[in-house]
Structure 1
Amino acid sequence: MEHTVVRPFEDADLAGAAAALTEVHATDGYPVEGVQRPEAWLRSADVMAAWVGELDGAIVGHVAVMRPHGEDAVSMWVRQSGEREDRIAVLARLFVVKAARKHALGESLTQAAMSYGREHGLRLVLDVMTKDTAAMRLYERLGWQEIGRTSHRYGDGQSIDAVCYAAPDA
């Protein structure tokens, strides 16, 4: 029987999480920007809290709650809800390697981030590329509401369609 764990990210997890991220980019094209510096992408100064998912002791997934940094989902939620930006955080950097899927780790990681948001009085928002249909199904199953659509710009003038979501009420 395979054993899964979701726990807070520790500095010692960085190499394993970076390797998992590089693998996910190779199989799924996430993130679309690429991962030239996976450690820096995972440990951005905007990260408020993060968790890893393990399968049989190996890091196979990750999620972070991040301070807003100009995301369309944040401005959409401020406009629609009237909430102040300092009461909003962004669920980001969610990934699980292909070989570890079907263990509900994506759901467990998302639930950890949602619990953090509730405990800290923060409304979580996110955007997800329309190509990532499994992620969209996960968020909708967990009660996230679509709040709008946007175009995610990256690279040299490239863009991809994305859907913005807000987490359910605490």
Structure 2
Amino acid sequence: MHFVAEPEQPFAVRPRRDEDIAEAAAALVAVHEADGYPVEGVDDPEAWLKSPELTHAWVAVMAGRVVGHAGVGESRGDEAAAVWFERSGEDDSQVVVAARLFVTPEARGTGLGERLTKTVMDHARRHGVRLVFEVMTKDAAAIHLYEKLGCQEIGRITHRYGEGRQTNAVCYVWPAPGHA
């Protein structure tokens, strides 16, 4: 699938390229400074974005600059996936994990968060798999968006990171059971 900016929307969502990493990392640092997302990964944002856990990634580009990012990865070892597997009985082959989804503060309100999320959802749909992920409870705007797009809460966890740090998170699945 090829993404092109529409005339009324001065942005595009497209597959991430290697040359996007530095700009995406700078965007990630800006997001972290604005609202604390992500809770980990900003010490080496390029490595966090290039994680071998990610199998596919996309960027949002506005006015020639990377202002957003989204990815999917394998479900092995993911906490939200574990919640879903316990609840559903599905296995790794039926699930991917949405990850590293963010939009810079100056690009918010443009629909990019929704567009990136739908890109990840389209990927899952095309591959016939379910999408799972976790969202920190502090990220109310993201929670609102995911629920608006039909994601279903499947549980709550304590996300542990760094040296003994933790925060509460909500786990989601899409499509919701019965809507696959």
Q: Under TM normalisation by the shorter chain, which class is it?
A: over 0.9
2:168 is aligned to: 161
Per mean C-alpha deviation after superposition, the further-off stretch among 142-151 and 32-41 is 32-41
Q: How does 1:15-164 map to 2 (within 5 A)?
A: 15-164=22-171
Could you tell me the TM-score, scaled by structure 1's length? 0.96
1:64 & 1:34 partners in 2: Cα distance?
15
Deviation track 1:13-34 (CA, whole Å, cap 9, x = no partner) reads: 1111011011111111111124
Matched residue SS, 1:33: coil
Q: Give the fraction of aligned pairs with identical amino acids, expressed as a percent.
A: 52
Matched residue SS, 1:63: strand
Matched residue SS, 2:102: strand
Gaps of 5+ in 1: none
The 3 A distance-change label for structure 1 pair 136 and 7 is same
RMSD of aligned C-alpha atoms? Answer: 1.2
Q: Residue 9 in 1 paired to residue 10 in 2?
A: no
Higher relative contact order (CA 8 A, sep 6+): 1
Matched residue SS, 2:52: coil
> Segments of 4+ in structure 1 off by > 6 A?
none
Residues 74 and 92 of structure 2 are in contact (CA less than 8 Å); yes or no, is this contact kept in structure 1? no
Per mean C-alpha deviation after superposition, the further-off stretch among 147-156 and 68-77 is 68-77
What is the Cα deviation at residue 110 of structure 1? 0.6
The 3 A distance-change label for structure 1 pair 81 and 159 is same
Aligned residues: 170
Gaps of 5+ in 2: 1-7
